[in-house]
Structure 1
Amino acid sequence: MLSGCSSDDDDPNVAESPAPTAGETTTPTPDATPEPSAVDPASVKANELAAIPVMMYHQVKAEVCSACVYDQTPAEFKAELARMHKAGFVPITVAQMVAGEIDVPAGKHPVVLTFDDSSASQIQIDADGNPTPDSAVGVLEAFAKENPDFRAMGSFYVNDTSFNDPKALPWLVEHGYEVGVHTVTHANLKQSSDTTVQKEIANNIAAIKAQAPDAKVNTIALPFGISPSNPQLLRSGEFEGKSYTLDAALLVGSNPAKSVFDADFDPYKIARIRSGPKNKPVETDSTYWLDLFDQGKWAAYTSDGDPTKISFPSTSTKKVGSKWADKANPYEPAGEGSGSSSSPSPSATASTPPSSSPEETPAATPTSTS
């Protein structure tokens, strides 16, 4: 499941002690420092073929209109972070997920926090060079400071406005947040020519790089969740000498995403869960899915704590993708309740969005875009 950014502190390796210098006394140590014992995946019910929630946020502001189904107040956003933290979720970025770099502690669940449209409510930099406390990033940074096991990490998908603050993009990149494509004009790519699709993507990346040269831009959040008629243009393209390559594309969706290690995972059709006001939740939004998770009605990706292995119950009906086959680590579940065969949704009806296919579905209302 939501996604700030700055630190990875999960490396379990024990560093060797340096040799003492002349005249220095040391406490006697054993001949060799044992490696920390590996966690038995069965003991934490590891399931790295299960679903990953990719949360989709828009504005975080003090007043939310009744039709703004993608927006939250700072208090609501903080409360949702607290709920995910309590449930054992740890943020990663889209780029990390797609690359299979899912390094979270054993027994914990990765969640991706994504933010569309680069609105001013997401981040503004104050006179001291810090995000304003009432912005989305400000709330996330403060929450992570209070709860160090919940990383300030996320993926921001920007349009040409770039938060209306020239300091925002450089700050995000400097502090480890992912920045991705959302097109220059928030274009409906299916209604655009091949040339326009490439122009929207290539110029968007060029604008990001102009403000933040160190940004690594390799994922896109599709405006309205709609793919171009030529899906190859999501992978690579070129406009006026500016070429690009993208590794993943995000839909609007209404359900958790498949695990990147699942043989059925498609990096260019990654589902997301909408997150909006808590006083008026919409169908299949974050409240809906977190409620079902708390009730044990869908299985989230559960880490074995070892990024070099992909652990899952041997009884799972899911298959590891061929790209990851050498890391597959099936294990015998310890009794019942391993969640080995749980699907990302409680039932066929519960997982079906109330409208048509998410990649073909514009935003729910004309005043709220994705």
Structure 2
Amino acid sequence: MGRFGVVRIGVACAGLVALAACQSTETKTAAHATPNAKAAAASAELTRKANAAAAAKVRANELGKIPVIMYHRITDKPGGTDDRTPAQFRTELERLASEKYVPITAAEYVTGKIAIPAGTHPVVLTFDDSSPSQLTLDEMGTPKADTAVGILLDVAKKHPGFRPVATFYVIRDMFGKFSPEERAQVLGWLSQNGFDIGNHTRDHLNLLGKSEKEVTEQIAAGQKLITDLDKKVQVHTLALPYGNQPRDKKWALHGSGNGVRYDYQGVFLAGYTPAPSPFTKEFDPVGIPRIRSMDKKGDCVKFCSTAWLDELNAHPDERFTSDGNVATVAYPKFKAPFVDKNFAAIALPY
């Protein structure tokens, strides 16, 4: 065999030795990785079991119903069935606090960011039409005591854990302010203090039966009204005027008009039941129900806030109860068929 043949064999042998060494190293690495992977899996399973046990202890049901309560004016002289007196509003908030409800915003609800303590229940407080009775600031930028925000802040101060947050669906008549500067002051105060701002269209027109152009232009104009005043405000949701959906429901969720684009994660109606959990198959972002705030009388014997809070209190397993862990969706095992597939990875049945 010539000199060059010997060299070729030597190179080949060297390659085989290197390959064998490499394979040996990989085998050793795999051997070390397997126990580590098993340990990680065992640790994850222990964590899951501990989380499930904690969820079971508080009877967590994050597939349960959530009351989204609709308010309009808070006034000593109600002008209609949508108005509530300051005393009535305070009484309802005190009841919610005593029954372990914790306010969240509409944006938090539709995005599933429900970070409340274990054993408590979310409630969404929404205010339509941006009336001065909902928020009026004094010369020092403090909410007046008899406004909705003033009352909410006072109740929260007396009940630690009762978050003073709500969602305000604004229109052109923005809290009784007319100059851009005054309007920007109010919107800025809300966003800087953890409140949520939603679109209620610019002119509060009934969108029922309107053309796509009319619908999208009204919604886009409402979007522009907000973002022109405060570009930092992110608008996540829309409340339909009178609760009436347009001919194509999706027009309310996504669209554009006069060069302004809107893309929302939720569209709210005006009645008459608690809303589904955002983690269920039942959740429909284009038609989220709300409950009118009212005592049990007339049409409200069954379908307004007092009646529904009574119903949920009488059947506590039907309402949303948090496990206290925003990274999981906890529920009794038999409710598994109702979980939206998008949340399967963080599902925690027990």
TM-score normalised by the chain length of structure 1? 0.76
1:76 aligns with 2:88: yes
Number of corresponding residues: 294
Cα distance change of structure 1 residues 71 and 318 upon mapping to structure 2, 3 Å threshold: farther
Of Structure 1 and Structure 2, which has the larger fraction of its residues in helix? 2
1:161 aligns with 2:158: no
Residue number in structure 1 paired with 2:204: 186
- Out of 291-300 and 147-156, give the one that drifted further: 291-300
Residue number in structure 2 paired with 1:253: 271
Deviations along 1:279-318, one digit per CA (max 9) or x if unpaired, are 8782311011112223237621000111111110012265
**Contiguous gaps of at least 5 residues in structure 2:** 1-46, 178-182
State the alpha-carbon separation in 2 of the partners of residues 297 and 144 from structure 1: 23
1:47 aligns with 2:47: no
1:112 aligns with 2:124: yes
SS in structure 2 of the partner of residue 115 of structure 1: strand
Q: Judge conservation of contact 1:218–1:247 (CA < 8 Å) in 2.
A: yes
Q: Judge conservation of contact 1:125–1:168 (CA < 8 Å) in 2.
A: yes
1:312 aligns with 2:331: yes
Q: Judge conservation of contact 2:252–2:267 (CA < 8 Å) in 1.
A: yes
Q: Judge conservation of contact 2:61–2:317 (CA < 8 Å) in 1.
A: no
Cα distance change of structure 1 residues 298 and 292 upon mapping to structure 2, 3 Å threshold: farther
Q: Judge conservation of contact 1:57–1:276 (CA < 8 Å) in 2.
A: no
1:174 aligns with 2:192: yes
SS in structure 2 of the partner of residue 238 of structure 1: strand
Residue number in structure 2 paired with 1:17: none
1:154 to partner: Cα distance: 0.6
1:100 aligns with 2:112: yes
SS in structure 2 of the partner of residue 199 of structure 1: helix
State the alpha-carbon separation in 1 of the partners of residues 223 and 83 from structure 2: 26
1:276 to partner: Cα distance: 3.0
1:50 to partner: Cα distance: 0.6
1:294 aligns with 2:306: no
1:143 to partner: Cα distance: 1.2
TM-score normalised by the chain length of structure 2? 0.80
State the alpha-carbon separation in 1 of the partners of residues 122 and 54 from structure 2: 19
Q: Give the letter for the 1:163 counterpart.
A: F
State the alpha-carbon separation in 2 of the partners of residues 56 and 298 from structure 1: 23
State the alpha-carbon separation in 1 of the partners of residues 91 and 228 from structure 2: 35
**Contiguous gaps of at least 5 residues in structure 1:** 1-34, 332-370
Cα distance change of structure 1 residues 169 and 278 upon mapping to structure 2, 3 Å threshold: farther
State the alpha-carbon separation in 1 of the partners of residues 56 and 209 from structure 2: 49
Q: Judge conservation of contact 2:116–2:122 (CA < 8 Å) in 1.
A: yes
Q: Judge conservation of contact 1:158–1:181 (CA < 8 Å) in 2.
A: yes
Q: Judge conservation of contact 1:253–1:274 (CA < 8 Å) in 2.
A: yes
Q: Judge conservation of contact 1:72–1:277 (CA < 8 Å) in 2.
A: no
Residue number in structure 1 paired with 2:246: 228
State the alpha-carbon separation in 1 of the partners of residues 55 and 317 from structure 2: 19
The runs of at least 4 consecutive aligned structure 1 residues that moved more than 4 Å come to 277-281
1:278 to partner: Cα distance: 7.4
Deviations along 1:83-113, one digit per CA (max 9) or x if unpaired, are 0111110010111111110111000001100
1:247 to partner: Cα distance: 1.1
Q: Judge conservation of contact 1:92–1:153 (CA < 8 Å) in 2.
A: yes
Q: Judge conservation of contact 1:262–1:318 (CA < 8 Å) in 2.
A: no
Q: Judge conservation of contact 1:262–1:320 (CA < 8 Å) in 2.
A: yes
Percentage of identical aligned residues? 39
1:171 to partner: Cα distance: 1.1
Q: Judge conservation of contact 1:71–1:277 (CA < 8 Å) in 2.
A: no
